[in-house]
Structure 1
């Protein structure tokens, strides 16, 4: 087996053979992003209120910690949700989508954090180009998905797809 065979999973779903995994994916991703923005905004608001109160109680010392605590809370949100066994943020869970690795590595907290960081960098630099990638790649992957080696899929039909693909591999 060559290194290319071990790096790319050949059983990745194809939109032509499993269209149910990709139906409405971009709209679902966009809606999940908005839901997650609301959740992250609420989290930041709560942390800021607690930090301001703590700042008054510590004569301003806690205000300096907000510079580190707020970004860390966003990183922890993505690491805890995307890096969990559900492989989805709360918004992604609500929209029935899941993050799947494409290069054979497990989706752990670190890969989830890297995925989120690359997402925010590419969206911050040029969100229209990242969106165009999703419109023109066969699996609707955005720039950060291609860089990190991930794929977004619909969760509910995914189990049926994997069962079918593994059943066809069976020698029985």
Structure 2
């Protein structure tokens, strides 16, 4: 197997035609998960800002310079800690029963989670309506950043049943 084989799409990706329960309401769940995550990030930013503001007095104003980086650093830490974990989901995604799954043969680690989050924020900042509309026309409800990063968002609870059934069929074929 060459190094390029790991970037090829997996042949056993779930299909909305054969496993519709994996994609049921995914786009709505993603929007709600985003709003939950936005609220959590907002609370974290406020908490870190308060700490930075107090630290500014203790460092004669030097820590106040760091306040410029509170928002981006909070976002990076939040996504790396949640998407890069073994759960592969932010707190909002967990609440909405969705999980981020790689579509290529590479694992979803902290770096891939950061890349996914960065591409998400870039495409969302450029034009969020197009990003959402794009998902309406892809069979797996993938947004622009999902296609760029090679990821797929599916429902967590039916996903376990889907992969168990797929593995059973694969073992029976041999």
What interval of TM-score do these two structures reach, taking the shorter chain for normalisation?
A: over 0.9
1:11-26 alignment runs, 5 A limit: 11-26=12-27
Structure 2 gaps, min length 5: none
The residue aligned with 2:162 is: 161
Work out whether residues 6 and 104 of structure 2, in 8 Å CA contact, stay in contact via their aligned partners in 1: no
Specify the alignment match of 2:102 in structure 1.
Answer: 101
1:51-95 CA distance string (max 9 Å, x none): 111112222110001223431121011001000000000000000
Q: Hey, what's the Cα distance between the residues in 2 that align with 1:48 and 1:60?
A: 13
Please state whether the residue corresponding to 1:132 is helix, strand or coil: helix
Moved over 6 A (4+): none
Match of 2:43 in 1: 42
For 2:116, the equivalent position in structure 1 comes to 115
- The change in CA–CA distance for 1:6 and 1:48 in structure 2 (over 3 A counts) is closer
Instruction: Between 61-70 and 103-112, report the one with greater CA deviation.
Output: 61-70
> For the residues of structure 2 that align with 1:102 and 1:147, how far apart are their CA atoms?
11
Find the residue that maps to 1:156 and give its secondary structure: helix
TM-score (norm 1): 0.95
Q: Matched residues in 1 for 2:7 and 2:35: separation?
A: 36
Q: What is the Cα-based RMSD across aligned positions, in Å?
A: 1.6
Match of 1:62? 63
Query: How much has 1:4 moved relative to structure 2?
Result: 6.4
Residues in 1 aligned to 2:143 and 2:43: alpha-carbon distance in whole angstroms: 26
Distance in 1 separating the partners of 2:15 and 2:49: 44
Give the deviation of 1:49 after TM superposition: 0.8
The answer to whether structure 1 residue 140 and structure 2 residue 141 are counterparts is yes
Q: How many residues align?
A: 172
Q: Structure 1 residues 80 and 6 mapped into 2: Cα distance closer, same or farther (>3 Å)?
A: closer
Counterpart position of 2:33: 32
CA distance in 2, matches of 1:71, 1:127: 19
Q: Distance in 2 between matches of 1:69 and 1:41?
A: 11
TM-score by length of 2: 0.94
